Chains A and B, each alone.
Chain A
Amino acid sequence: DAGVIQSPRHEVTEMGQEVTLRCKPISGHNSLFWYRQTMMRGLELLIYFNNNVPIDDSGMPEDRFSAKMPNASFSTLKIQPSEPRDSAVYFCASSTPADTQYFGPGTRLTVL
């Protein structure tokens, strides 16, 4: 069975550019989560969706960050404009309500 799929796996961009990270959750999972891992702050929740509806976006650091889930099988996390401090590994996870969260392999973002 395919797990959570994230693309790209690595992204290098220059400050000021727009970055879009993509996630395909596990089929049948109706909750989707975006996390960010940095050395300073560890793994932190950015936003999550239930049934394609954003439930809690209090972890989104700034207005430069936005996330969408247009359908049950796809979500994007966009950063515009990107800054060097956005460099991190971004994880997507999916689940059903009573189950644990399954994580994707992550996208390593480097903003120069």
Chain B
Amino acid sequence: DQQVKQNSPSLSVQEGRISILNCDYTNSMFDYFLWYKKYPAEGPTFLISISSIKDKNEDGRFTVFLNKSAKHLSLHIVPSQPGDSAVYFCAASGASGGGADGLTFGKGTHLIIQP
């Protein structure tokens, strides 16, 4: 049973528009949530994170929203750029910062930005 779910395997968005990637989780013990971005033949790279005590975190074009009651988080990218085309993984951890505990990943969403 998957504890972190990304129900959209792929998403196509026009350049300049907003990209919204969604993630659901089932484990109430998760305390910290992260988004990673992955290009082919490379390892995942950290993008943005949010602690369970917050409901929003913003970093430039990237914003992560957390709805604890719904066990749902989303990543908004605005405006979307061609370089944003990649696979995005949602991850969760029981440890603050995500560095002291293993991460539980979703299966990823392949974001394609159309010119």
Residues of chain A whose beta carbon lies under 8 Å from any beta carbon of chain B: 4, 31, 33, 35, 42-45, 48, 50, 56, 59, 91, 93, 95-106
Contact = CB atoms under 8 A, between A and B. Distances in A.
10 contacts: A45-B102, A59-B102, A91-B43, A97-B97, A98-B96, A98-B97, A98-B100, A99-B98, A101-B98, A106-B42
B76 interface: no
A13 B49 CA distance: 38
B13 interface: no
Interface in B80-115: 89, 95-108
A91 B105 contact: no
Contacts of B95: 97
Interface of B: 34, 36, 41-46, 49, 89, 95-108
Contacts of A95: 98-100
Contacts of A106: 41-43
A44 to B, nearest CB: 7
B8 to A, nearest CB: 14
A45 B104 contact: yes
- 8 nearest A-B pairs in the assembled complex, by CB-CB distance: A103-B43, A95-B99, A45-B102, A42-B107, A97-B100, A43-B105, A98-B97, A100-B46
